[in-house]
């Protein structure tokens, strides 16, 4: 797997440090609230797992899986729910946890969808933000790292379902993206 990597963009130590900061902010902001953390499958699970261990207030977890039509590295904007939340979020303070925001179309849809279910509040936490190709307006409340417009894998993020288990955020060699 290592020989597929061109370079490491964000190290394990940088991620760990950032998560401590994010978790401290979240713990402070949600004290006394009805926090439910909604993880967006599958990309966010590695980040979410490390993040929740550092949050020291009561919370519950739920998961949603979405997919945009099409199979390119560009989102089409049409979002489909593949697996819905298990529980009602009515009256809850929802924190959506995502791996990366690119066009913003996925989170824009998700936020509107969850809002219509009567949540008290909805905020967004993302590990990575690629602001350059934004097509839909999304307010990010908790952000890990802003990155350039390049495709990254690892720490939950995949290319064709692979590389999610890399412990850091990496850029693959060009030949991995083409002609395989």
- Give the CA distances from residue 85 to residues 13, 33, 62, in Å, rounded to whole numbers and listed in that order: 32, 20, 6
Please list, residue by residue across 74-113, b when 16 or more beta carbons sit within 10 angstroms of its beta carbon and e when fewer do: ebebebeeeeeeeeebeebbbbbbbbbbbbbbbbbbbbee
Site string for Mg ion, 122-161 (x = CB under 5 A): ----------------------------------------
List interacting residues with ligand IMP (CB under 6 A): 43, 75, 98-106, 151-153, 157
93 part of the active site: no
Cα–Cα–Cα angle for 109, 153, 76, nearest 5°?
A: 30
CB of 91 to Mg ion, least distance (A): 27
Q: What six digits make up the tokens of 102?
A: 């690119």
Please choose which of ligand IMP, Mg ion, none residue 170 contacts, taking the beta carbon within 5 to 8 angstroms, the exact cut-off set by kind. Answer: none
- Give me the numbers of helices (H) and strands (E) for the chain, helices first please: 4, 8
| Residue 50 contacts which entry, ligand IMP, Mg ion, none (Cβ below 5-8 A, type-dependent) | none
The H or E element spanning position 106 is helix 105-115
What's the closest the beta carbon of residue 32 comes to ligand IMP, in angstroms?
30
Q: Which CB, 93 or 99, lies closer to ligand IMP? A: 99
Which range touches Mg ion (CB under 5 A), out of 24-32, 35-43, 55-63, 164-172? 35-43
Please say which residue, 26 or 79, places its beta carbon nearer to ligand IMP.
79
């Amino acid at each position: 797997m290592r020989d597929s990597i061109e370079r490491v963009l964000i190290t394990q130590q940088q991620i760990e440090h950032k998560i401590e900061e994010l978790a401290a902010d979240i713990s402070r902001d949600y004290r006394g609230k009805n926090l439910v953390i909604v993880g967006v499958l599958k990309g966010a699970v590695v980040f979410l797992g490390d993040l929740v261990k550092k949050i020291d207030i009561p919370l519950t977890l739920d998961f949603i899986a979405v997919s945009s039509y099409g199979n390119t590295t560009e989102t089409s904007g049409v979002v489909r729910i593949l697996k819905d939340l298990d529980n009602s979020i009515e009256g809850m303070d929802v924190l959506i946890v995502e791996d990366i925001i690119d066009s913003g179309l996925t989170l824009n849809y998700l936020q509107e969808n969850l809002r219509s279910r009567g949540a008290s509040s909805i905020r967004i936490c993302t590990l990575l933000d690629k602001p350059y190709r934004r097509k839909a307006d999304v307010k990010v409340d908790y952000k890990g790292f802003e990155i350039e417009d390049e495709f990254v894998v690892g720490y939950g993020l995949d290319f064709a379902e692979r590389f999610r288990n890399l412990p850091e955020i990496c850029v693959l060699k060009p030949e991995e993206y083409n002609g395989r």
